[in-house]
Amino acid sequence: MRKRLYEIIEVSQNGDKLSFAYDFTMLVAIVMSVFPLAFKQSNDVFIVIDVVTTVLFVIDYLLRLVTADYKLNDKRAVAFFIYPLTPLAIIDLLSILPTLTAIHQGFKLFKLVRIFRTFRVFRIFKMFRYSKSISIITKVIKNSKDALIAVCTLAFGYILISALVIFNVESDTFGSFFDAVYWATVSLTTVGYGDIYPVTTAGRIITMISSIFGIAIIALPAGIVTAGYMTALEEENKKD
């Protein structure tokens, strides 16, 4: 029975209708749980949504805990103690904590727990578990982590060098090194907000060069992820 539970709560495979229904239900619950964050004021409807979705999250957490040995592929009892420390299990726990503030409003101890309300945003990350497409992207990122780390290192070095150059060339425009780093990051992404910009000819030349190289650096991870995603899709189609 636990094995069947594990098959249901995992991402739907091979047309398992029950598993698909479970994934769809949890995705709806996640979207509904973060919906109240778009409003400054709360009401009774939002409170009901919060309680209902949290109950679903608690049930999901418990189901995953009792099937932890299948998830970790470890039949030892230690698997049930290791699972709560895994990243997705921690996200699950953080998504449950905000509702603790509704337990009692009188005690100061529980008032301190109000800070956990901000943890509701972690519920969005729960979608990674229930969406097959997101699962594929996560797998692609893991498989391409070496190339992506190399690109991120290149981007970080580029931002640092550009910031150092512009900070010394435009010392009057950029009041601090952080301003220069902010400008370099914006230039790397070719966004260009326009709130901080060089005014000298040398500074503008550096900005043009920075933007051109930024396009090339930003294109690298996009190409890596796209190629990996297409390969992963082909593998999934072969399995089906």
Q: Residue 109: is its pLDDT beyond 70?
A: no
Residues of the chain with pLDDT > 90, as a percent, come to 6
Dmax over Cα atoms in the chain, in whole Å?
72
Look at residue 218 in the predicted model and tell me its pLDDT: 80
- In whole angstroms, what is the distance from residue 20 CA to residue 213 CA? 44
Confidence at 114, pLDDT banded by 50, 70, 90? very low
Q: Residue 80: is its pLDDT beyond 70?
A: yes
Helices (H), the chain: 2-9, 17-34, 44-66, 68-71, 79-82, 87-96, 108-112, 127-130, 132-143, 145-169, 177-188, 201-239
Q: Residue 112: is its pLDDT beyond 50?
A: no
Taking a C-beta distance cutoff of 8 angstroms, is the pair 69, 76 a contact?
yes
Parse the chain into domains and list their residue ranges.
2-130, 145-239
Q: Residue 184: is its pLDDT beyond 60?
A: yes
Look at residue 49 in the predicted model and tell me its pLDDT: 87
**Multiple choice CATH, 145-239, 3.30.750.200, 1.10.8.60, 1.10.287.70, 2.40.260.10:** 1.10.287.70
Confidence at 82, pLDDT banded by 50, 70, 90? very high
Token pair listed for 80: 């049930």
When pLDDT is averaged across residues 180-186 and rounded to a whole number, the result is 88
Q: Residue 184 is which amino acid?
A: A
**Cβ contacts of residue 126 below 8 Å, gap of 6+?**
26, 30, 57, 88, 91, 92, 95
User: Between the CA of residue 111 and those of 93, 118, 140, 156, 198, what are the distances in Å?
Assistant: 19, 14, 42, 41, 48
Q: Which of 43-52, 92-101, 165-174, 200-209 has the lowest mean pLDDT?
A: 92-101
Q: Residue 120: is its pLDDT beyond 80?
A: no
